[in-house]
């Protein structure tokens, strides 16, 4: 079975600064996908970024980027130029591949607060 660990329950960052959210996972699979989801106070789950394990290049989406270390089974999210709207809970998640016909395994989440 796969496990996803987010060991930091809360983090705080000053607006316009950079923050890194940590995530580690455990799996015996070689093909899989990793995700970061954002959940603002509205409760909506929003996909932030996705990484395919077979790709060595780290995924990037505007101010969001990941540091994917496959050997270390580490998948951290870096948020640059933090904005007040980034205040939310963030979940790291794992999906087995190939085929992507599978369910998500989530970490416990981290609450990020961006201070003005």
Partner 1 sequence: DAEITQSPRHKITETGRQVTLACHQTWNHNNMFWYRQDLGHGLRLIHYSYGVQDTNKGEVSDGYSVSRSNTEDLPLTLESAASSQTSVYFCASSPGQGNTEAFFGQGTRLTVV
Q: What is the DSSP string of 53-89?
A: TT--SPPEETTEEEEEETTTTEEEEEE-S--GGG-EE
Least distance CB 14 / partner 1 (angstroms): 26
Angle ∠(3,48,92) on CA atoms, nearest 5: 15
Least distance CB 103 / partner 1 (angstroms): 5
Q: Between 98 and 113, name the residue whose CB sits nearer to partner 1.
A: 98
Least distance CB 34 / partner 1 (angstroms): 10
Cβ atoms of 35 and 21 closer than 8 Å:
no
- Interface residues with partner 1 (CB under 8 A) are 4, 6, 33, 35, 43-45, 47, 50, 91, 95, 97-101, 103-109
């Amino acid at each position: 079975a796969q496990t996803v660990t987010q060991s930091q329950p809360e983090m705080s960052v000053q607006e316009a600064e950079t923050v890194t959210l940590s995530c580690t996972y455990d799996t015996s699979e070689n093909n899989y996908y990793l995700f970061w989801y954002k959940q603002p106070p509205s409760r909506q789950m929003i996909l932030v970024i996705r990484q395919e394990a077979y790709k060595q290049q780290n995924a990037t989406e505007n101010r969001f980027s990941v540091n994917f270390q496959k050997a270390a089974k580490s998948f951290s999210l870096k948020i640059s130029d933090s904005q007040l709207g980034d205040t939310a809970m963030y979940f790291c998640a794992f999906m087995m591949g190939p085929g992507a016909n599978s369910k998500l395994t989530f970490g416990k989440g981290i609450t990020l607060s961006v201070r003005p």
